[in-house]
Amino acid sequence: MASRTAKDAGNKGKWLKIVLSSPPELVDALSNFVTELGAEGVYQEENKIQSSGDFPGAASKESVNAYLPFDVRLETRVSSLKSYLESLSQIFPELDAPELATEIITDPDWGEQWKKYFKPLRVSRGIVIKPTWERYTPQGRDTVIEIDPGMAFGTGQHASTRMCLEALETLILTHRFPEPLNVLDVGTGTGILGIACAKLGAERVLCVDIDPKATEIAMENIIINSVGDRVSVTQEEISTLKDTYNLIVANLTAKLLIKLKKTLTSLLRPGGYLIISGIIDQNQSDIEAHFFREPLKLLSSLSEKEWVCYVLKKETNQP
């Protein structure tokens, strides 16, 4: 992470709030873009346009809210966002162009604002994600995962995370693993996927992230969920890992997945499973070209909105 300069210090606590009003079809792509750009506190809001009289309301718009720190990177970040908006309107000429509004915020309580959008959510048949500050009474044999996301990604509300949880649930609960289940969660964020694995029965889980803020938050969530005896966290590149795993889950981006493909495959034991997510459908063919080949083979895929998630298996006769 870049260190703060003296110039940044004067702007401590100052943020540029970004509000992108957009047709619903583009909000996930926009959230993804601003997150990758380095924005914090990214959340989506639905803005229903009021109907008048008996007439149905006009098509609803949604907004993506995000905060960029006032530092040396701000100008470049805002101009890349503007170019991205332009390219989106060229790619989707039939949709209204997203509108950008900005506001300077000093010492805001923005860190708290997104909390009102994070409610207990059933993400799969038996998994419920519950914010630590909300109440929820589990039903039947629900696996409840408590999350305080802070500034890390991973509340279960995003399709890419939700599909990983569904794939993990199916895989762990229906497959008989011949040996103790040793899981690697690559890009753990809040730790949500690693914690889910432990609660579903994995013997050992390693959560990895390159962002120190994420590993700190993941550790807190591991403790909150009382799975610290089986789940550990490390802040490093996966290329430095020594162990091998019979289940790896990586919710990243198509670009990162392709970059890490070789390492992911070599960390996977023969007969092991790899779940990859964070893939926008327009990158599907790129991912397929890299991942649908020996020693990996496709087991199943999930899709939601424009997001895709793949479950792959490493052939048993492979090193």
Classify 226 in phi/psi space as left (phi over 0), alpha (psi -120 to 50) or beta.
left
| Contact assessment for residue 120 and residue 131, using Cβ atoms and an 8 Å cutoff | yes
Give the number of other CB atoms < 10 A from CB of residue 105.
15
Q: How far apart are CA 102 and CA 66, in angstroms?
A: 10
Whole-angstrom CA distances from 315 to 164, 174, 287, 310 are 21, 19, 18, 16
Q: Applying CB under 6 A, does 164 fall inside the site for ligand SAH?
A: yes
Among 15, 114, 153, 245, binds ligand SAH (CB under 6 A): 153
| Contact assessment for residue 57 and residue 17, using Cβ atoms and an 8 Å cutoff | no
Q: Applying CB under 6 A, does 208 fall inside the site for ligand SAH?
A: yes
Hey, what are 187's tokens? 């890009």
Q: Applying CB under 6 A, does 218 fall inside the site for ligand SAH?
A: no
Query: In this structure, which amino acid lies at residue 76?
Result: T
Q: How far apart are CA 171 and CA 107, in angstroms?
A: 45
Q: Whole-number minimum distance, CB 11 to ligand SAH, in Å?
A: 23
Q: Which is nearer to ligand SAH, 61 or 221 (CB)?
A: 221
Q: Which is nearer to ligand SAH, 237 or 281 (CB)?
A: 237
Among 59, 104, 173, 210, binds ligand SAH (CB under 6 A): 210
Q: Whole-number minimum distance, CB 155 to ligand SAH, in Å?
A: 7
Q: Which is nearer to ligand SAH, 164 or 231 (CB)?
A: 164
Q: Which is nearer to ligand SAH, 69 or 154 (CB)?
A: 154
Residue with the two structure tokens 């040396």: 72
Q: Which is nearer to ligand SAH, 61 or 172 (CB)?
A: 172
Among 211, 216, 304, 306, binds ligand SAH (CB under 6 A): 211
Lay out the site mask for ligand SAH across 26-65 (x = CB under 6 A, - = otherwise).
----------------------------------------
Residue with the two structure tokens 């949709």: 95
Question: Which stretch, 74-82, 98-106, 205-213, 307-315, contacts ligand SAH (CB under 6 A)?
Answer: 205-213
Q: Whole-number minimum distance, CB 236 to ligand SAH, in Å?
A: 8
| Contact assessment for residue 21 and residue 63, using Cβ atoms and an 8 Å cutoff | yes
Nearest to 64, CA basis, from 84, 38, 88, 46: 46
Q: Applying CB under 6 A, does 212 fall inside the site for ligand SAH?
A: no
Q: Applying CB under 6 A, does 192 fall inside the site for ligand SAH?
A: yes
Half-sphere exposure of 9 (CA within 13 A, CB side): 3
Q: How far apart are CA 55 and CA 29, in angstroms?
A: 31
Q: Applying CB under 6 A, does 131 fall inside the site for ligand SAH?
A: no
Question: Which stretch, 98-106, 137-145, 184-192, 196-204, contacts ligand SAH (CB under 6 A)?
Answer: 184-192
Whole-angstrom CA distances from 182 to 176, 227, 238, 291 are 13, 14, 15, 22
Residue with the two structure tokens 């424009």: 306
Q: Whole-number minimum distance, CB 106 to ligand SAH, in Å?
A: 27
Q: Which is nearer to ligand SAH, 25 or 211 (CB)?
A: 211
Q: Applying CB under 6 A, does 161 fall inside the site for ligand SAH?
A: yes
Q: Which residues bind ligand SAH (CB under 6 A)?
A: 152-154, 161, 164, 186-189, 192-193, 208-211, 214, 237-238, 251-252, 256
